[in-house]
Structures are given as structure tokens and as C-alpha cells.
Structure 1
Amino acid sequence: MFFQYPGNTSKQETANEELEKLALDDEPDTRLGQGTLSFNEVPEVHSQAGAHIRSWAKVQRGTVGEDSAGPVDVTNGEIMRRPVLKFEVVSARTVDHNSEKKHVAYTIMVRKDAIQPDPNPAVIERRYSDFLELYESLRREFPSLMTSVTFPKKVLLGNFAPGVISERSAGFEALLEHIITEDRLRESSCLLSFLQGREQREARQWMEAQRYDQAIPLLENSFRLLNKLHTDRHPSVMLALCRLVACCSTDPVTTSAERFADLALRRYEAVSDADLLQFYVPLLQLCVRLWWSLGRDKRPLEARLEDLKRRGIKVDGCRTLFDALMALDKN
């Protein structure tokens, strides 16, 4: 099934492009500016992924070297550079909480650089055991694709020595760079779990506690990360976007719900994946309520719902988008 609602195509496409830029590029609160890295973690607040992501909002971005800009194309007389996806271990810290065994946590910055540095890199924090689980899972599932990868070995002593940390960081970067060059590895469920599992679990805890303001940065970070790795309408990207929309619309304080809801509606116009379409009606219904609260014209959205109903698609009595996604994540 394929949804398309044509209008004034050129004007609509221009408006959509501006919307996409607004939602994905123009985010001052997530743009890395001047400052120094500071971890201000509060004890016993889940896994602290949210605090860690927030801390990177004040870190100065480095400049992108020529080698990382990628191959050069000449199109219409202009030199264009293809965006290059990069994984970089940018810091490491020793974690010694009473609830966890002492270990080193590595911060990985994920960015997609073109002529200019990515203004909205995503960051995740993982430990050696997380990388090891990813490596071993991929070796079991895709042995022929992993023969060339050398993984840093465990050491009995010296885990916290600078030399060991540096060597492991290089190995982790090499592993991730290899994964994204192979389509089957890039699409693997174990990579998806590695990239968003921790943040998604913590976001769910915050949402169950009705602390939506704490869940939103986690969900937005995951959405941006996956959107660098995959196409705009990839199932994992769309699910991440829907989670973000559902959470933003539930939080009475955030002002991001409208922007991300608009973005989700635009992307759904070209979605045909059956698993994703189950969330389209709840998304439309959410947007009808949101548009009404914002004083926007909700009639085009109501017309879409009527059209779907005429096609025999269940519209009445559906779960909310929030409840549908929470139920999905339980399974």
C-alpha cells in the first residue's frame, strides 16, 4: 500500500525541504558549541545515558580534515562532496559506581560530514563488553563477512592503562567502519540493538515514570543517529521518529512536537512497509489533536483518515500512537 496526497508539487516540495532542514539541521539545543566536557551525573538515575548525551551539547566541535570529506564529484560545474558517515571514539572515562563493576566507558560520536561538519552529531556511550557482544553476534550470523576484522583482546591486567584504552578505541572504530561498508551487517538487528538499545530502554523507563522531558533527548539522539545510518524512510528510522513524536506530544512543555510530527507525516506519504503502516492511523489521529490545539487546519488530516476508512482500513477504536509503540517495545 502506498500513500500519496498530491497538491501543488513544486511549492509542496519546497516547503517540505525547508521543514526537513528545520527538523534535522537547525537545532541549537543539540548543536555542539563552545565549552568543555563535563559529566554531572546524578546517582541512581537509570543508566545515565540522558545525562551523558546532554553533556555533549557544550563540547566544541573539531574541524573536519580533508581526508574525511570523501570522494569529489563535479556536478553542474560545482564541486560536491558526498556525505561520509564516521564513527569516532572521542573520549573514555572510568566508571566506578557501587552498582556496576569498574569499567571504561567509551563515547562514540556518529556524524555525517559533507563540505561542512555535521552540525548535529549523535553520541552514545558503550563499554568493552557491548562491543564484544556486537562483534561475536556478527561473527556467528555473518562469519564470511567478519573474517578480516581483528577485535581487541581481553587483558587480565591494565584495562585502565592509556595504551590499552587507545588501542581498543582504534579497534572499536575499525569494527564500526567495517560494519557500515557491508549492507547485511549494516541492516543487522544486533547493530540496531547496539546503537539504540540502551537509550531506548532508559527512555521507556522515563516514559513509564511520566518524565517525558528526560526521555525526549534520548529518543531524539537515537532518531538522528539512525537517520545518519539509513535512508529517511527506513523502518528503524521511521519507528524512532514515531517514538519521538509520541513522546514530544505527551510532554506539555516541549515545543518540538509540531516539527517532528510534520516531518513524520511527510515521510509517511511514501511509506509502503506493512509493519510501519500500522502506526499511520494513530499518527494521523495524534496530529489531528495537535493541529487543533495549535490552531492549525486539521481538515486535510481528517480527510486522509476518511479516505483510509473508505479503503477498509480500521480507523475507529485504534490505540494512540504512544500506546501502540509502548506495546510494540514490550514484545
Structure 2
Amino acid sequence: MESPEHPESPGWTGPVTPCTTRTRQEAPATGPDLLCVGPDGHLDALSGPSSNSSMTTRELQESWQKEKGHWKPVKLLFEIASARIEERKLSKIVLYQIVVVQTGSFDSGPAVVERRYSDFEQLHRSLRKAFAEEMEDVAFPRKRLAGCLAAAAVGERARALREYLRQVHALRAVRRSREFADFLTRPELREAFGCLRAGRYARALELLGRALPLHEKLTAHWAPARVPALCALLLCHRDLGRPADAFAAGERALRCLQARESHRYYGPLLDAMVHLAYALGKDFVSLQARLEESRLRRPADRSVTLKELTVREYLP
């Protein structure tokens, strides 16, 4: 069951401060290079020479442009790689295999999911409802009643659905929406959390391993959205007797919550991390201090364990 606190991600507890793209003149004059997610979802390198530099304005601009040129824009590309017909009791359905590839030098591998035409229809209805103005000129491929399972018809529809995904992803508001992320990740995450609730930790890990990389790509603009899935990863590893892997997953989740100590996962996650750090012989004292500070601000967190909180996500 997702939290209603934010329209795009579970567990939102505060406003998002967007990272704006700077112009060349606004590039920082001192300090280390910074990575910033710009308004189009690209990673830009913002860097500048030392304030003691004797460069002219033109030389400064050329230097900045040269540094920026080392970074490649990050985009998601969609392909319908194949389609297969699956027979059900009373009907046949077509499952389209969607391959999502992140361009640039940051992708560790493509993500692959399967969706039905009716799933695309539901996505389109949701997007039209949430983004009526942005979706006004986006056409959805019509369903053919006759011969819709013929190879030629399936191939034609696959190409049309691929183009549809590319069009909606080009809309900034849509590609950052919860509706779009849910379309590509929700079925797998919902099944993974169901396996977690049932104690099927190995199967949950398998599903999370497939869904999390794509989920991270889709939520690059809002890291706290990944916290529930990362906490599920922690719990699965912990309950399978893999404390080191569990601690690593917890560290990733804590990084997503930097400067967000009021987040509902922050206290329960720290509590779990304290116990893992103690068992692994790591520094648990600093984690314990952070936990005590959190409990002074939010006493209610003391009564909820990380597992009790996590298993509530993605309930049917």
C-alpha cells in the first residue's frame, strides 16, 4: 500500500527542490565538480576553474564547455523487442516485450518487462486523466478487432506501441510521473513484496533484482521513491542470513534519504542498520546516535519495525 503523501513516490514527506541547470556564466567558480539533474532529466557536469584563475570570460566559457563535453546526456530508449501469444482458459493474449536501455555511460544493462495491450490502454487512460494538456497531441494505437493475432498485425502494433512510449517519455511531466513508473515496474514490485510477506525471500530477491535497476532509472529525479524496494532488499538478505548484503542495501537506502530525517522509513531503517552493524562488527555507535536523535524528533517511529513498515507497500 503506497503512501498518499506524494503523487509520484511512496513515503514523500516534503517538497522537492528541483536542481536547475546553470548557464555558463553561472558555473561555480570554486569547489569540486558537481553533477546536477537538469530540467530534461539529463546529468550535467557543472565545474569551473579556480577563482584565482586569470582566464578571460571567453576562455572560461570554452573551458566549461570542454569539461561539459566529457559527459554524455542520459536518456531512456524504448524498444519492443518481441511479442508472444499466451493462451488463457478462455482467450489468447499478446505479451509485448519492452526493452529499456539507458544511453550514455551510466547503464549497467537493459531492463526487460512484458506488458499486454490492455496495460498500455490503462496507462494511456491514467496519463490522459493526470496530464490532459500534455497528452493532447499523443495518439494511442487503436485496437484491431479482426486478425489482431496475425503476425503482421502484432508486428505493426508493436511498432506503434514503441513509438507511443517514446512520445510519452519525451514529455517531462509524464516521464517523471508515478503513472509512468508504475506501468513499467509496479507488477514486478507488487509480486516481490507479496513474496516478502509470504516469506519467499529468494523469489522476492529475484524479482527485486529485475525491477530495481529500472525503478532507479525512472526515479532518478526523486531518490526517496526507491527506499521501500531497497528496504525490501535488506529484509530479504537479512532473513536469508546474508547480513553483509543486507547492510549494503541499507546503506543505499540511507543515501536516498540524505537530509530527509523526517521520512517515515528513516527511523526504522536506522534501527535495522544498528543491529546489522553490531552483528558485522562495524561502527554502530554513530548509527545509534543518529537513531536516538531521530527518536527524539519522532517518538512514534519507536513502535514500528522496518519489516512491519515495508510489508505494507504494494498491497493488492
TM surpasses 0.5: yes
1:55-134, aligned counterparts within 5 Å?
A: 74-76=65-67, 79-98=70-89, 101-115=91-105, 118-134=107-123
- 8 Å contact from structure 1 (residues 247, 322) kept in 2: no
Q: Flag the 1:136–1:114 CA change in 2: closer, same or farther, 3 A.
A: same
> Aligned to 1:287, which of 263, 273, 294?
273
1:144 aligns with 2:130: no
1:200-211, aligned counterparts within 5 Å?
A: 200-211=189-200
SS of aligned partner of 1:300: helix
Which residue in the other structure is 2:306 paired with?
Answer: 321
Q: Flag the 1:79–1:104 CA change in 2: closer, same or farther, 3 A.
A: same
State the shift of 1:103 in Å: 0.9
Q: Which has the larger radius of gyration?
A: 2
Q: Partners of 1:218 and 1:261 in 2: how far apart?
A: 18
Deviations 1:70-107 (A, max 9, x none): xxx95338543212211221221111144x73111111
Structure 1 gap segments, 5+ residues each: 3-12, 18-72
- 8 Å contact from structure 2 (residues 201, 240) kept in 1: yes
SS of aligned partner of 1:278: coil
- 8 Å contact from structure 1 (residues 103, 127) kept in 2: yes
Which residue in the other structure is 2:29 paired with?
Answer: none
Q: Partners of 1:129 and 1:215 in 2: how far apart?
A: 26
State the shift of 1:324 in Å: 0.5
State the shift of 1:204 in Å: 2.7
Q: Flag the 1:267–1:234 CA change in 2: closer, same or farther, 3 A.
A: closer
- 8 Å contact from structure 1 (residues 203, 218) kept in 2: yes
Q: Flag the 1:171–1:270 CA change in 2: closer, same or farther, 3 A.
A: farther
Letter in 2 for 1:281: G
Q: Partners of 2:308 and 2:171 in 1: how far apart?
A: 35
Structure 2 gap segments, 5+ residues each: 1-12, 15-31, 36-63
SS of aligned partner of 1:329: coil
State the shift of 1:200 in Å: 2.2
- 8 Å contact from structure 2 (residues 192, 204) kept in 1: yes
Q: Flag the 1:134–1:254 CA change in 2: closer, same or farther, 3 A.
A: farther
State the shift of 1:285 in Å: 0.8
State the shift of 1:212 in Å: 0.8
Which residue in the other structure is 2:292 paired with?
Answer: 306
Q: What CA RMSD, in Å, does the superposition of the two structures yield over aligned residues?
A: 2.9
Deviations 1:209-249 (A, max 9, x none): 21111011222333221211222643422333233333333
1:1-331, aligned counterparts within 5 Å?
A: 74-76=65-67, 79-98=70-89, 101-115=91-105, 118-231=107-220, 233-252=222-241, 256-271=245-260, 274=262, 277-310=263-296, 312-314=297-299, 317-330=302-315
Q: Partners of 1:120 and 1:247 in 2: how far apart?
A: 23
Q: Partners of 2:187 and 2:199 in 1: how far apart?
A: 18
Q: Flag the 1:144–1:115 CA change in 2: closer, same or farther, 3 A.
A: same
Which residue in the other structure is 2:43 paired with?
Answer: none
Q: Partners of 2:272 and 2:221 in 1: how far apart?
A: 21
Q: Flag the 1:101–1:216 CA change in 2: closer, same or farther, 3 A.
A: farther
Which residue in the other structure is 1:5 paired with?
Answer: none
Q: Partners of 2:175 and 2:235 in 1: how far apart?
A: 27
**Between 101-110 and 136-145, the greater mean CA deviation after superposition:** 136-145
Q: Percent identity?
A: 32
